[in-house]
Amino acid sequence: MSQRLEVRLVKRLPGFTLDVEWSAGDGVAVLFGPSGAGKTLTLQCLSGLLEPDAGRIVVGSRVLFDTAARINVPPQRRGLGYVFQGYALFPHLSVAANIGFGLRGRPRADVLRRVAEVIERMGLGGLEHRRPHEISGGQRQRVALGRALAPDPAFLLLDEPLSALDAGLRQSLREELAGILSDWHVAAVLVTHDFQEAYRLGDQIVVYEAGQVIQAAPRSELLWRPASERVAGILGIRNILRGTVVKASPDRIQLRWRGQMLEAVNSPVRSYLPEPDHSLAFFIRPEYVRLIRKDRGVADPMHHMNLLSGDIVREADFGTTFTLYFRLDAPGRPAQGDYDLEVEVPRLVYEILEIGRDRRWQLSMHRGSIQVLPGAGTSEDER
Amino acid sequence: MSPDQLSAVWLSIKVSIVATLLNAAIGIPLAYLLARRRFWGRAAVDVLVTLPLVLPPTVTGYYLIVLLGRRGVLGAPLYEATGWSVAFTWYAAVIAATVMALPLLVRTARAAIESVDPNLERAAFTLGRAEWRTALEVTLPLARNGILAGLVLAFARALGEFGATLMLAGNIPGKTQTLPLSIYTAVQTGEAGQAMALVAVLTLLSCGVVVASARLGARPL
């Protein structure tokens, strides 16, 4: 059951080159990145629908593609299941015929048994004779998964399975998909440009940008320790800033930013010791910045770490939360256009503190919520 | 109606049916190749197939004589070997009708095949189907309505074929005189009543074709 998928491929298209290398084992590997990064192209190369210019694709001990050995197994014989964007169900065939489509060549009794089994496990009983346009979106997803899983593929490839859906259905189908993937215990490679989806469904996340892999890591490591400023940017992390190192020790990093001193925790597993005066990227999660209440007396720098003060220049109302754009009391150009820091507060806090009327605040953040981004030094980061 | 005119009605129906069957055999695979494959000379094939649609039928007929006539490029060797020539036989009427009708089928069927989502074909590939099986099981069934509409158009075109038929098959009553030729002859010889009757038959057949094609278009997959 536990087979590894090893991928190394180069595919040159006009104006775009895909050049990636990664591997995946049990569970779900998510290829994540912006549109046009080469994720679907990778999937097509894996399935054999597209021939790479160079590389090697191996599932377990089976070589599917190898330019050096001149091996290129056609898609018909790769033994991989492919779930297409929009599902690509055969509209002229019934649910049962769709699910049985990949079982041709087996004895009729086996086909019938397998189709019945898949229909039962997918909860599609009673819909055998319906056409794809006569069933719901959720049922369609299950037919698409059932059709791909029926021949018992070594790996399941899923291309943006949820992208065509509206928000409500998308979330419920995402949960259903997560359930089916763990239920069937099938190794899968899933493509998405939605980080929430990647995080929810993936055990491992491979981050794509412009035809390259910029980080491959278990999902929790990716979120808390992005490998670089670029990865942080693609993950949609806000408040990615640049400061100057003052002092770095294995457990703390002191840095100067916008004329202020900030103290951050150095990563205990991957401590990073840049030289003083080095430029350094870091990020502050907007939901971890605290506003200091004015009714509790003067802020005490001993209790409030990383104390800053400034004015709200803009705000955005997202219903349950407000995003406040702060400009700090420091001379010079603000760090992010017309503001320095994005701060997110729950609506309740916004109302209790009467932020709508009061635009001047002191801010503080714990050193543990300032994340340093390694590998993004002064000059060597532009590989 | 005279016996010759009656035979013209039957000849026209026979020629149109055979020409439509030939169209299906040649035109559907051709439409698939033009829609789905990139091959050397594809543009030339495309132009060649479409040409009879834009050329005057007499010009197409002339080319057919040059190709298949007793002294034609292919016709001469055939005549020398067998003493038989296709010109001025009812086969010539079939060939003329087939060539004239082919662009209508190929263009309609090709558009229908191109509108089939290529992901459906890719899905069939990943589920183990070879390309020709995919064409038979997925692509052509999904393009069915367009292909049938193209066949109806081809039949109608074959039924009304005049110019190219006259050039290659001639206008021999009882032998190669089809319905449109028979109408022309009746008018030329001043048989107004006969012409009217033949026109009525042709109009009726054409109405049948229109009704059939409307039914096909409305049918769901």
Q: Which residue stretches of A60-207 are H helix?
A: 95-100, 108-121, 137-149, 167-184, 195-201
Residue A75 contacts B where some CB pair is shorter than 8 Å: yes
Residue B83 contacts A where some CB pair is shorter than 8 Å: no
Q: Residue B13: which residues within 8 A CB-CB, separation 6 or more?
A: B159, B205
Cβ distance A253 to A247 under 8 Å?
Answer: yes
> In this prediction, what percent of chain A has a pLDDT beyond 70?
94
ipTM confidence: 0.83
pLDDT digits (tens, 9 = 90+) for A238-258: 888 888 999 888 888 899 999
Distance in angstroms (rounded) separating the CA atoms of residues A9 and A21: 7
DSSP assignments along A187-244, one per residue: -EEEEES-HHHHHHH-SEEEEEETTEEEEEEEHHHHHHS-SSHHHHHHTT-S-EEEEE
Report which DSSP code applies to A151: T
Distance in angstroms (rounded) separating the CA atoms of residues A326 and A198: 31
Q: Which residue has the tokens 């990563």?
A: A267
Nearest to B119 among A48, A84, A105 (CB): A84
Q: Which residues of A touch B141 (CB under 8 A)?
A: 92
Q: What is the 3-state secondary structure (H, E, C) of B172-195?
A: CCCCCCCHHHHHHHHHHCCCHHHH
pLDDT digits (tens, 9 = 90+) for A50-68: 999 999 999 989 999 999 9
Report which DSSP code applies to A15: T
Instruction: Quote the tokens at residue A149.
Output: 């899983």
Backbone angles phi, psi at A195, to 5 degrees: -70, -35
**Is B50's pLDDT higher than 90?**
yes
Q: Which helix (H) or strand (E) holds B123?
A: helix B118-126
Among candidates A103, A26, A9, which has minimal Cα distance to A60?
A: A26
A49: nearest CA partner in chain B:
B122
Q: Which residues of B touch A151 (CB under 8 A)?
A: 127-128
The answer for A 78-137 residues in CB contact with B (under 8 A) is 78, 80-82, 84-86, 88, 90-92, 101-102, 104-105
Cβ distance A104 to A151 under 8 Å?
Answer: no
Closest-CA distance of chain A to residue B29, Å: 21
Q: Mean pLDDT, to the nearest integer, of A197-223?
A: 89
Q: Which residues pair with A22 in a beta bridge?
A: A7
Residue B221 contacts A where some CB pair is shorter than 8 Å: yes
A50: nearest CA partner in chain B:
B122
A156: nearest CA partner in chain B:
B126
Give the model's pLDDT for residue A114.
95
Give the model's pLDDT for residue A226.
81
Distance in angstroms (rounded) separating the CA atoms of residues A157 and A30: 10
A159: nearest CA partner in chain B:
B119
Give the model's pLDDT for residue A269.
58
Distance in angstroms (rounded) separating the CA atoms of residues A112 and A107: 9
Cβ neighbourhood burial of A206 (10 Å; 0-12, 13-18, 19+): buried
Distance in angstroms (rounded) separating the CA atoms of residues A90 and B121: 9
**Is A267's pLDDT higher than 70?**
no
Q: Which residues of A touch B139 (CB under 8 A)?
A: none
Contact B128 A86 (CB under 8 A): no
Average pLDDT value over all residues in chain A: 88
pLDDT digits (tens, 9 = 90+) for A1-40: 568 999 999 999 999 999 999 999 888 999 999 888 999 9
- pLDDT grade, residue B215 (50/70/90)? confident
A97: nearest CA partner in chain B:
B137
Distance in angstroms (rounded) separating the CA atoms of residues A306 and A286: 14
Among candidates A40, A57, A46, which has minimal Cα distance to A6?
A: A57
B125: nearest CA partner in chain A:
A76
Given 3-state DSSP classes, what are the helix, strand and coil percentages for chain B, each rounded to the nearest 5?
80, 0, 20
Among candidates A104, A83, A106, which has minimal Cα distance to A163?
A: A83
Q: Which residues of B touch A145 (CB under 8 A)?
A: none
Q: How far apart are the first and last CA of chain A?
A: 38
Nearest to B126 among A80, A91, A105 (CB): A80
Closest-CA distance of chain B to residue A152, Å: 11
Distance in angstroms (rounded) separating the CA atoms of residues A202 and A215: 14
- pLDDT grade, residue B63 (50/70/90)? very high
Cβ distance A340 to A286 under 8 Å?
Answer: no
How many Cα neighbours within 13 Å face the side chain of B90?
18
Q: Where are the beta strands (DSSP E) in B48-185?
A: none
Distance in angstroms (rounded) separating the CA atoms of residues A355 and A324: 9
Cβ distance A254 to A246 under 8 Å?
Answer: yes
Q: Which residues of B touch A99 (CB under 8 A)?
A: none
Distance in angstroms (rounded) separating the CA atoms of residues B83 and B81: 6
Distance in angstroms (rounded) separating the CA atoms of residues B121 and A146: 18
AA letter at A294: K
Helix axes B3-36, B144-160, angle to 10 degrees: 140
Nearest to A76 among B119, B130, B141 (CB): B130
AA letter at A138: G
Contact B128 A77 (CB under 8 A): yes
Closest-CA distance of chain B to residue A223, Å: 34
Instruction: Quote the tokens at residue B17.
Output: 């049916």
How many Cα neighbours within 13 Å face the side chain of A346?
3
**Is B140's pLDDT higher than 90?**
yes
Instruction: Quote the tokens at residue A30.
Output: 């998510």
**Is B164's pLDDT higher than 70?**
yes
Among candidates A149, A118, A114, A143, which has minimal Cα distance to A131?
A: A143
Among candidates A83, A56, A61, A87, which has minimal Cα distance to A72?
A: A56
- pLDDT grade, residue A275 (50/70/90)? confident
Least confident of A178-192, A367-381, B206-220: A367-381
B127: nearest CA partner in chain A:
A102
Backbone angles phi, psi at B83, to 5 degrees: 70, 15
Closest-CA distance of chain A to residue B156, Å: 29
Q: Which residue has the tokens 């099986």?
A: B133
Residue B95 contacts A where some CB pair is shorter than 8 Å: no
pLDDT digits (tens, 9 = 90+) for A75-96: 999 999 999 999 999 999 999 9
Alpha-carbon B33 to chain mean position: 18
Residue A50 contacts B where some CB pair is shorter than 8 Å: no
Contact A47 B128 (CB under 8 A): no
- pLDDT grade, residue A270 (50/70/90)? low
Alpha-carbon A345 to chain mean position: 24
Contact B123 A84 (CB under 8 A): yes
Q: Which residues of B touch A101 (CB under 8 A)?
A: 124, 127, 129
How many Cα neighbours within 13 Å face the side chain of A270?
10
**Is B220's pLDDT higher than 60?**
no
Distance in angstroms (rounded) separating the CA atoms of residues B98 and B87: 15
Q: Which residues of A touch B120 (CB under 8 A)?
A: 88, 90-91
AA letter at A64: L
**Is B181's pLDDT higher than 60?**
yes
Give the model's pLDDT for residue A118.
95
Q: Which residue has the tokens 């040059």?
A: B66
Q: Which residues of A touch B125 (CB under 8 A)?
A: 48-49, 74-76
Give the model's pLDDT for residue A2.
62
pLDDT digits (tens, 9 = 90+) for A162-179: 887 777 788 888 999 999
